[in-house]
Structure 1
Amino acid sequence: MKSNNLVKIFLASALTVGIAIGCNDSFLTREPQAQYSPTALQTAKGVEGVLLGAYGMVDGAGLDGQSDWENDIQNWVFGGLTSDDAYKGTDAGDQPEESFLEKWDFQPTNGHIRNKWRGLFKGVARSNDVINTLKNVKDISEARRAQILAEAKFLRGLFHFEAKKMWKNIPFIDDATFNLNDLESTKVPVDANAWAKIEKDFAEAAAVLPATQAQVGRPTKWAAKAFQAKALMYQGFDMNTGAANAAKLTAAKAILEEIVNSGKYRLVELYRDNHDASTRNNSESIFEVQYASSSSSGDAANRGVGLAHPYASPWGCCGFYQPSQNLVNAFKTGADGLPLIDTFNDSDVKNDQGLKLEDSFTPYEGTLDPRLDHTVGRRGILFIDYKIHNVDFIRDQTYAGPYSPKKHIPSKAFTGVNGWGNLTSNNYRIMRYSMILLWLAECEVEVGSLERARELVNMIRTRAANPAGFVQKAIQGSTRDAYTLVFDAQGKPVPAANYLIKTYSTPWASKDAARKAVRFETRLEFGMEGHRFFDLARWGVSADVLNKYNEIEANKRVYKKGARFVKGKNEFFPIPQEAIDRSEKDGKATLEQDPSYK
């Protein structure tokens, strides 16, 4: 692990300065304990430690009384298995609360929902504590003071943003409101202006942060601008009608163009380079959540996705977050190398459902987008650099299907030996340049040029079509772990499947055709990265897409029968009942439940 990794620095600094702002049974704050002294932290060294404590909440792990995956920043629970990308996976008896989430049975008493709220607002609390502590620090330069304030505002904006996409209405808690030693200060009603305040935090951070940071994991001005644009994109469409909000998209477009024109970022040559520990913090990365690549303990690894590993060795746990057949089908291409946007799910890509390990199997021979095999583990295809995927990878095929998640799993060289927590050492690219390009394409479709949108999508597809990035064919060896890579007569790697992907060579016939193409490309590019549920919601198409998806999937996964996404309700999650109960002030709860869940 690099010495400038913020995860490791946080762990050391938190001990050094004696931060005592963890969680007990409150959501937003904690009474001081043991040797905690606010005065002791009002120094240059102290406030830096408090800031690192706020960074420590970005990955969402490590809160007392909850599991790491319930507040994981990758959102595989709330943004993945609630969408058409994935099933809960594993078997029926494991983590049953997630089964309810997968079927859009969102309840205010669901512990995962409760702990997501709890973790995000703990992050808000720590960010505000940085700002308030900083006000009393004397032994610090004004330049560093300004940087700390900007970083804290970025983090506060990030935590509020993650909450705002989860819940229809949230409180916005700023430093003027928050008091670390007064629980009552966090009991505020939801804020109708939360989006504007989130935008403001990112804008003010961008105005001060440098264009580059010497230490990876700290945000730059471009990261702050990217999240400001993302906040605008989440307001870009009416969730009820799907109508575009021209003002928000125009504002986002200006920021996105500024990022593109900066020349700071470029697409990496190989798609896989966005998903391996060996290529972290590359030219496409705008903001990454940093994790350890090696450690004597698992504390600095990303334990939040620890469950979402195949059941086979070397992981052995736990089989969650399995890709859906619908997602796999989406990667089919036609003879022209383009996606089958309207017909992709009419038939299935061949799978090994119900087959035994010793049964012969030939993978699907039709044409496919090569990103499929960087996203999904499937029978007969090499799984990164471990072994050829087979039934051993799956805990219960009958329940959760034949596929495994792939993107968040590092290659062998970055696999630890100290348990499943240390096997999740890959950074999470929460903001990268391909997102900027596809958001800009969305804006161009609605308030700009269809031709420019096509050009942007073709940039993404051109990178995906690079044959150097195709998964290589492998032949099973004498043991389950053994394999031999296949080369042709010229010594070139033989692709693992019939990959065919091309660019859009002719203009789109209409705005509707362009919109479909851009949104479909977004799904292909970011499949299994925790964004899909929220993308469908912000576009205002969740009910149509997910109910159509479930009609077919219910015939494959019996437990999904009867599930239905309710338009105008399930785009958001209910405020946790415990949060409402504990918001009581002067005999009355300051938080009110979303009317859709009353």
Structure 2
Amino acid sequence: MKTKISLLVVAFVVCNSCNNLDLVPLDKITADSYYKTAPEFDAAMFAAYSSIQDFWGTSTETLGEMGEYWKITDVVTDDVNAEPNSDNISKDADRLNFRASDKPFAAIYTQIYEGIYRANTVLEHLAMENELSDAEKSLYDGEAKFLRAYFHFEALKLWGTPPLVMETFKDLSKLSVPNATKEQLYTQILADFNDAFTKLPATWAPENTGRATKWAAMAYIGKVNVWKGQPADMLAAITAFEAVIDNGVGAAGKYGLIDTDNPEKDLEDVFAFDNENNKESIFEIQYGGPHSDDNIWVFDDTHSEAFKASQGTGRSWFWDAANNSAAESAPGGKLGYWTPTQNLVDAFEAGDERLNSFIYQAGDTYYIWNSAVESLPYDPEWSSTGYNVKKYSGKRNSVGGDFSGNNQGNFNNERIFRFAELKLLYAEALLASGRAAEATDQINDIRDRAGLDDLPGLATLADLQHEKRVELCFEAHRWFDLVRWGLGPTLFPADWNAKYEVYPFPQSEVDRTKGTAGEIKQNKDY
């Protein structure tokens, strides 16, 4: 009898406790109990970094992403052609046909504000009870502000007046933020990058290579000021860039161009899988491989943990040659969605080694990893333009460590901010400030590394624009440049529309916030 009574008491207690909303699930840790130690804050920071990885990601479990960031930064430009076998969004992007309902805008918007949310989460928990030293708190504060600024800057470049989100929301009646002004965004972005500069280290220990540094923050201070574009901003940019040039160091030591007077090898070295985080790298998106969860940024954001996706990029899958019209298929089973345009090829000067290093063309030997390295003569019939992208590819990168087991994922880091870009941004600021001779020196440094002679005279803005196009092709810069330089009507006379200066906000976000205090207003004419 006593046994039966005891069981009834236990059953009552268990059932009654089902109504206790303070119970902690056995498989979960609450946020307030988690953010206590340095390893826990590290994990939270890495989660914010991983949102950047997702720009280039693929997924079958969320929106069905397929390299969406490339579509709205590269495919839309005069550098890239969407092949006949590519997806419809790529073809529309190539024709400058944008809709607010298009997947790339929803995917990148989600990833940007996910990253901002994660950075804000770190910042808020730094102010709560934890076990961190004052030095650790300062470091995490700077790192989180760097990432918050990075994500807001990306949002500004894409949408012009996106929301400025400075907190995580806990009130169900306030879950959205309205459009910010450009001035509000620029002010906060620069404040965050400046705070990051004062608090971040110049370099990290080798096991933390890839985390943001004070010199990456200073480089972005310069870049943001170039985007602002007023004379005072250009002077501020010059000051920032000169600080990086004179004093900046990265994982490989003092920043500089990789230039040993061997252009073919030097250009290969910049993008080589076995030369990640090199002296030219200011900020680089870190990828793991050949398995998931072996890189400090990895959290498998685009798939559930059960899927165990390798955290890589689909660069090879989308950009390497596919069989579009040739009798014999290109090896490797790649999609071959996007290819270089003839217009871009024609932009390279005679003798420019970058053409040979960045683009496959007739007469080249084509290399691909297909569970083993394969090489054969490049067939122009593999592409409707007669070309394929070699940057991040080629013989040096056709190695097993750079590819997932299914040969679709790459683990070569994305060079998101190179010293070569900084020198060209510096040249732009110098030109805008009437210092053409100094700008010419910066541009000539880039040309020399490519095997070209110096410019015949003082550099002009057109020279700068040309040099930046050929140096940074396929690196997600061209669209933002041609928009801010006002080149759209000239480059796309039949297709350009003034509304393209900004992209449409995802219609799902506009609809979700409609009628609330945080209503997002759609950009004009979308």
Deviation at 1:401, TM superposition (A): 2.0
Check conservation: 2:380, 2:387, Cα contact below 8 A. Answer: no
**SS class of match (2:211):** coil
Letter in 2 for 1:323: P
**1:325 counterpart = 2:342:** yes
Give the structure with the larger helix fraction.
2
Larger displacement relative to structure 2 (411-420 or 186-195): 411-420
Q: 1:41 to 1:448 in 2, by over 3 A?
A: farther
Check conservation: 2:142, 2:196, Cα contact below 8 A. Answer: yes
Which residue in the other structure is 2:114 paired with? 122
Q: How many aligned residue pairs are there?
A: 454
Which residue in the other structure is 1:595 paired with? 524
TM-score of the aligned structures, taking structure 1 as reference length: 0.72
Distance in 2 between residues matched to 1:220 and 1:526, nearest whole Å: 23
Distance in 1 between residues matched to 2:376 and 2:499, nearest whole Å: 42
Distance in 2 between residues matched to 1:201 and 1:62, nearest whole Å: 30
Unaligned runs of 5+ residues in structure 2 are: 1-24, 249-253, 260-265, 293-307, 323-328, 369-373
Q: Deviations over 1:389-435 (max 9, x none)?
A: 533872xx4xx42211221336122443511443x111111111111
Check conservation: 2:58, 2:66, Cα contact below 8 A. Answer: no
Q: Deviations over 1:50-109 (max 9, x none)?
A: 2111111111247751244445xxx421111101110122x24x4201211111111111
**1:54 counterpart = 2:48:** yes
Check conservation: 1:187, 1:585, Cα contact below 8 A. Answer: no
405, 411, 421: which one pairs with 2:397? 411
Deviation at 1:525, TM superposition (A): 0.6
Q: Deviations over 1:488-536 (max 9, x none)?
A: xxxxxxxxxxxxx2112x432xxxx611111101111111111111111
Unaligned runs of 5+ residues in structure 1 are: 1-31, 237-244, 334-366, 466-500, 548-562
Distance in 2 between residues matched to 1:384 and 1:449, nearest whole Å: 44
Which residue in the other structure is 2:513 paired with? 583
**SS class of match (1:371):** helix
Instruction: Give RMSD over aligned pairs.
Output: 2.4
Which residue in the other structure is 1:143 paired with? 135
**For residues 88-487 of structure 1, what are the structure 2 equivalents within 5 Å?**
88-89=82-83, 91-92=84-85, 94-175=86-167, 178-179=168-169, 181-182=170-171, 184-192=173-181, 193-214=184-205, 215-236=208-229, 245-262=230-247, 264-269=254-259, 270-295=266-291, 299-303=310-314, 306-311=317-322, 315-331=332-348, 333=349, 367-383=350-366, 386-391=374-379, 394=382, 397=383, 400-409=384-393, 411-413=397-399, 414-416=401-403, 418-422=405-409, 424-465=410-451
TM-score of the aligned structures, taking structure 2 as reference length: 0.81
Check conservation: 2:53, 2:287, Cα contact below 8 A. Answer: no
Distance in 1 between residues matched to 2:335 and 2:193, nearest whole Å: 37
**For residues 547-566 of structure 1, what are the structure 2 equivalents within 5 Å?**
547=493, 564-566=495-497
37, 62, 67: which one pairs with 1:65? 62
Q: 1:144 to 1:315 in 2, by over 3 A?
A: farther
Check conservation: 1:157, 1:201, Cα contact below 8 A. Answer: yes
Q: 1:128 to 1:314 in 2, by over 3 A?
A: farther
Distance in 2 between residues matched to 1:70 and 1:293, nearest whole Å: 18
Which residue in the other structure is 2:20 paired with? none
Q: 1:127 to 1:412 in 2, by over 3 A?
A: same
Q: Deviations over 1:548-575 (max 9, x none)?
A: xxxxxxxxxxxxxxx6011x21121111
67, 74, 77: which one pairs with 1:83? 77
Deviation at 1:249, TM superposition (A): 1.1
**1:542 counterpart = 2:473:** no
Check conservation: 1:84, 1:324, Cα contact below 8 A. Answer: yes
Which residue in the other structure is 1:569 paired with? 499
Q: 1:570 to 1:438 in 2, by over 3 A?
A: same
Check conservation: 1:69, 1:305, Cα contact below 8 A. Answer: no
Distance in 2 between residues matched to 1:235 and 1:368, nearest whole Å: 35
Q: 1:421 to 1:156 in 2, by over 3 A?
A: farther
Distance in 2 between residues matched to 1:109 and 1:82, nearest whole Å: 17
Distance in 1 between residues matched to 2:505 and 2:417, nearest whole Å: 27
Distance in 2 between residues matched to 1:109 and 1:583, nearest whole Å: 15
Check conservation: 1:291, 1:425, Cα contact below 8 A. Answer: yes
Deviation at 1:133, TM superposition (A): 2.2
Letter in 2 for 1:325: Q
Check conservation: 2:291, 2:404, Cα contact below 8 A. Answer: no
**SS class of match (2:339):** strand
Letter in 2 for 1:209: L
Identity across matched positions, percent: 28
Q: 1:440 to 1:540 in 2, by over 3 A?
A: same
Distance in 2 between residues matched to 1:321 and 1:185, nearest whole Å: 42
Letter in 1 for 2:417: M
Larger displacement relative to structure 2 (59-68 or 131-140): 59-68
Letter in 2 for 1:507: G
Check conservation: 2:510, 2:521, Cα contact below 8 A. Answer: yes
**SS class of match (2:520):** coil
**SS class of match (2:499):** coil
Distance in 1 between residues matched to 2:411 and 2:481, nearest whole Å: 27
Q: 1:393 to 1:579 in 2, by over 3 A?
A: farther
Distance in 2 between residues matched to 1:531 and 1:565, nearest whole Å: 18
Q: 1:507 to 1:62 in 2, by over 3 A?
A: closer
474, 479, 500: which one pairs with 1:533? 479
Larger displacement relative to structure 2 (223-232 or 302-311): 302-311
Larger displacement relative to structure 2 (55-64 or 531-540): 55-64
Distance in 1 between residues matched to 2:489 and 2:45, nearest whole Å: 40
Q: 1:168 to 1:41 in 2, by over 3 A?
A: same
Distance in 2 between residues matched to 1:389 and 1:59, nearest whole Å: 33
Distance in 1 between residues matched to 2:429 and 2:278, nearest whole Å: 26
Choose 1 or 2 for highest CA Rg. Answer: 2
Distance in 1 between residues matched to 2:490 and 2:238, nearest whole Å: 27
